[in-house]
Structure 1
């Protein structure tokens, strides 16, 4: 099945008053799409990267949201050159570097105005756990490596491109492919134990949220606006809940993707939709606990008493976990295409389309610090190590580490 999965649809949806593609690429109307100018911060936090490094070819032309995977004091990253690397989280030094997919120039894909090789490359970002690092590729490759040494343990294959990190659990490796299928694999050898197939709409936002699990069920957001809970052991459907209606006069109007990262609580899971709906759902039966007309394409960050979500306009919201009521909102980052929020101590951190990271006080939503990783966008969710170091990866493959800001 040919899937028209276009970032340009997201651009059109975000653009207030923009009705033509011409307006995006340089006429006067494009001014309305430009990211809001950054205002000087009064008494900013002292923000400085402890280390940076380039990881090879990134995914700038593919519209992906790759991010590092963290376990202990190690982090694992993959790139479009077909390599998986293990790095020391404290220094950025390479611990091992494995070429798992050979790339070449046998074919190409045009994405906007850029051309990219399509025979190989790792596009999903790695998942880690239980001694394994598992990464997916553009041609459906699934490769499991030994987390300690980088030695290959097994290979498997999905039915289409894997563009999100696999979920690694003791009982199953869960991999979703871009055609709507989800695969439950045996961690020992990669054999297929179950397949779930939901299909995808004709038009959707480019991206998939990674699966999450509570040990019994695995939860996935889908492009038709639903969250699906599958039994981890056998892939049977536990429940399905609609987060946002997929309706409208055309395919663009009907886009309702739940593509951002889900946030799993104690007895509830939180999801947000491209149609600006955020919902709290009971994990026991899939029933809605509350619904709020705030949300977007990125995922959620969960705190003890609140939920942090960004909307397509670039507003950052803090919602009460119990009922979804707004505690505060921050509107100074308009049209900056913010990432899923990350939590670093008392601060919320989001990346943007111009390569900036913004530190926002969780208590009141005030922007307290800023630094620019690179001129290329940050799309993947920043990650935080157990010791509090924040890691951000740009779409051109630059990785930067930031220690927790001094209070």
Structure 2
């Protein structure tokens, strides 16, 4: 990973954002959020506890470890909570804003700060810090006594989890404009899976050597913004079956060990997916919730009653699809047909990241830092 690349990327990002702002200034007014749909009451959920973390952002995704969850705030709080009670197991203030996180293995937990620093903590104490050559939007991955990091230019590096020693780095030539949101970085067997632009790559986690690459997202745009096809965070894995989303382009399922494509279907979403052995669910950028048959990609249903409500990543439970919205509502939809079953309120600010299932507890985090535990019945 080389130092000069990131300022170049930053300038292009600024240009891209300026283009978007210019386009929005002449576009029609933002569509109004759909009114809250009538619920059937076919799902029961009870509030269990609430806590406070601090202002959060979409890059700050929680990680689940048995009956504990690890969370980070934009202001520098890193906390591990007990999901049954909502109480802190431990919490530290890093005294610097956090940009990406949290990754963990149940013992060590990693975040990346806005100062480009990779920070690894254990039992409420910082183990080590390592300066990165570029900002990261992707939660670090802690696995196999290593910490893996993907920076904004989609370079990947591995560090020793105990000492912070850099072990290897891998980088491919990047697109002229890069996506400022969490990318795909996850383990599957002895493979480290990485999203490089519209490609899914498998790396050897010990050396960084590339084993295979599969093209998932194909650009059809005419300008830099429209050609963004990065694979985004939030993949659904069932055994070797891996389903991913390419930004505003497609959803696809493939064999995560070989890269062999099972199916691909056009889709206009910008967030990840969730699923089980039979069903895959995702949210389009306009708030439509879609479900596909996992094995074939055939559409199962579409729910458009929550359009323009700024929906979160979805969570698929056995008896409900869970999504949060920009007003702090948590919606429960039928996994069979998408009908609205139930909804519960939080603090009125947007649900960030993804609803979390840890044990028998459902946890959501809001933009103003509320952490809410619910008990589905």
Using the size of structure 1 for normalisation, the TM-score is 0.83
Q: For 2:141 and 2:18, locate their aligned partners in 1 and report how far apart those are by CA, in whole Å.
A: 26
Q: For 2:60 and 2:229, locate their aligned partners in 1 and report how far apart those are by CA, in whole Å.
A: 22
- The answer to whether 1:203 aligns with 2:177 is yes
The worse-fitting range, judged by mean Cα deviation, of 262-271 and 357-366 is 262-271
Q: For 1:330 and 1:263, locate their aligned partners in 2 and report how far apart those are by CA, in whole Å.
A: 20
Q: For 1:228 and 1:168, locate their aligned partners in 2 and report how far apart those are by CA, in whole Å.
A: 18
Q: For 1:356 and 1:12, locate their aligned partners in 2 and report how far apart those are by CA, in whole Å.
A: 28
Using the size of structure 2 for normalisation, the TM-score is 0.89
Residue correspondence of structure 1 range 258-297 to structure 2 within 5 A = 258-294=231-267, 296-297=269-270
Residue correspondence of structure 1 range 319-398 to structure 2 within 5 A = 319-386=292-359, 388-398=360-370
Q: Which residue in 2 is equivalent to 1:164?
A: 138
2:24 to 2, 21, 24: 21
Cα offset, 1:70, TM superposition: 1.9
Q: Secondary structure at the match of 2:100?
A: coil
Cα offset, 1:273, TM superposition: 1.5
Q: Which residue in 1 is equivalent to 2:60?
A: 66
Cα offset, 1:12, TM superposition: 6.0
CA deviation vs aligned residue, 1:188-213 (integer Å, no higher than 9, x gap)? 21211111113543334420135211
CA deviation vs aligned residue, 1:66-106 (integer Å, no higher than 9, x gap)? 23222122222112222211222112222222123x23xxx
Q: For 2:341 and 2:164, locate their aligned partners in 1 and report how far apart those are by CA, in whole Å.
A: 46
- The answer to whether 1:87 aligns with 2:81 is yes
Q: For 1:332 and 1:23, locate their aligned partners in 2 and report how far apart those are by CA, in whole Å.
A: 27
Q: For 1:123 and 1:40, locate their aligned partners in 2 and report how far apart those are by CA, in whole Å.
A: 37
Q: Which residue in 2 is equivalent to 1:181?
A: 155
Cα offset, 1:44, TM superposition: 5.5
Q: Which residue in 2 is equivalent to 1:317?
A: 290
Cα offset, 1:173, TM superposition: 1.5
The worse-fitting range, judged by mean Cα deviation, of 296-305 and 342-351 is 342-351
CA pair 400-292 structure 1, distance change in 2 beyond 3 A: same
Q: Secondary structure at the match of 2:47?
A: coil
CA deviation vs aligned residue, 1:145-186 (integer Å, no higher than 9, x gap)? 12xx21222222222222222111124211111122111111
2:152–2:180 Cα contact (<8 Å) kept: no
CA pair 403-6 structure 1, distance change in 2 beyond 3 A: farther
Q: For 1:379 and 1:38, locate their aligned partners in 2 and report how far apart those are by CA, in whole Å.
A: 19
Q: For 2:142 and 2:331, locate their aligned partners in 1 and report how far apart those are by CA, in whole Å.
A: 30
Q: For 2:180 and 2:167, locate their aligned partners in 1 and report how far apart those are by CA, in whole Å.
A: 28
Structure 1, unpaired ranges of 5+: 14-18, 104-120
Q: Secondary structure at the match of 1:221?
A: strand
Note the aligned Cα RMSD (angstroms): 2.5
The worse-fitting range, judged by mean Cα deviation, of 371-380 and 225-234 is 371-380
CA pair 7-383 structure 1, distance change in 2 beyond 3 A: farther
CA pair 52-6 structure 1, distance change in 2 beyond 3 A: farther
Q: Which residue in 2 is equivalent to 1:41?
A: 39
Higher strand residue share: 2
Q: Secondary structure at the match of 1:379?
A: strand
Structure 2, unpaired ranges of 5+: 1-5
